[in-house]
């Protein structure tokens, strides 16, 4: 059941905030590659149908919605990453916040300055009014939209890197710790894009 609505956005708009950005990240639990975050501003005058937590949608549904959002559904979006090296240097939560902050800052490159942030479960170190929403990608239309665009972006990156590292099966598991991926790590060792501090990479199990 889709419980994702525009209620968080409507509350912010009613409170006088004009540019509400939803922020989410994907790839936090993967063993390979970056965390990817998206900050996305939906158009108040337009409702995009079918928004939901990206994990609850099929790849085809995500791709269709991402095209609609990046076409006419969103006023603006910003996508950014925190690399595997940055995850290892701090931790994946800090890296997720870093990627999210970068994504918000990228909105300015499109001439959009959000005055209210709806963030999936986290609070960012930014001087902007914000509201952390637990399970936000399943509840808030803006956060769900951000999760979809980020997921499609990261999946495409994994597909591209599969051609560079064909021994690891990235196109199938998108960098997560499947049996196939763990077996490849035991046989071939990690690449420079693996997260060396993660179980399954550092210990080979």
**7-154 to CATH, choices 3.30.420.10, 2.40.50.140, 3.40.50.12160, 3.30.460.10:** 3.30.420.10
Gap between the Cα atoms of 77 and 198, Å rounded: 30
**pLDDT averaged per 10 residues, the chain (length 205):** 84 96 97 98 92 92 95 94 98 98 94 96 96 96 97 98 97 97 96 96 75
**What is the rounded end-to-end Cα distance, in angstroms, of the chain?**
37
C-alpha 28: how far from its chain's center?
9
């Amino acid at each position: 059941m889709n419980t994702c609505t525009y209620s968080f956005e409507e509350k912010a708009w009613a409170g006088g905030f004009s540019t509400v950005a939803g922020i989410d990240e994907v790839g936090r639990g993967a063993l390979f590659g970056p965390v990817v975050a998206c900050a996305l501003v939906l158009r108040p005058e337009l409702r995009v149908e079918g928004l939901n937590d990206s994990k609850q949608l099929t790849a085809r549904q995500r791709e269709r919605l991402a095209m609609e959002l990046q076409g006419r559904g969103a006023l603006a979006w910003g996508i950014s990453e925190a690399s595997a090296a940055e995850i290892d240097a701090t931790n994946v939560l800090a890296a997720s916040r870093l990627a999210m902050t970068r994504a918000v800052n990228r909105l300015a490159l499109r001439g959009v300055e959000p005055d209210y942030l709806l963030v999936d479960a986290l609070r960012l170190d930014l001087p902007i009014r914000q509201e952390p929403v637990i399970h936000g990608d399943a509840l808030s239309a803006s956060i769900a939209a951000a999760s979809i665009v980020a997921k499609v972006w990261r999946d495409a990156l994994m597909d591209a890197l599969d051609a560079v590292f064909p021994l690891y099966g990235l196109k199938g598991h998108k960098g997560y710790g499947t049996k196939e991926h763990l077996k490849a790590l035991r046989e071939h060792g990690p690449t420079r894009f693996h997260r060396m501090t993660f179980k399954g990479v550092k210990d080979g199990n």
